[in-house]
Amino acid sequence: MYWFTDTVLKELLKKTGWQIDRTVTNTFWTDKRVLGYLMRRLSKIFPSLLGLSFLVLAKNTSKNSSENSKC
């Protein structure tokens, strides 16, 4: 297991020829109605500060790839 921020993840993907299509961030207190709504919004603005985990949909943009695959 490796711990890193969303900035490190973006740079790692960029260096290896992948581009992020979509990112979902899990955060604290999402089961609470008002607080959960606020925390989900804030985690989109400050993912490194409030994100517990990231789910990323990325596509391969390298010219060496024979097809535009998704991971």
Say whether 16 sits in a helix, a strand or coil.
Answer: coil
pLDDT in tens, 16-70: 999 999 988 888 888 899 999 999 999 989 988 888 888 899 999 887 655 555 5
Q: Are 53 and 1 in contact (CB under 8 A)?
A: no
- The C-alpha angle 20, 22, 57, rounded to 5 degrees, equals 65
Q: Are 23 and 6 in contact (CB under 8 A)?
A: yes
Q: At 13, list the tokens.
A: 């993907």
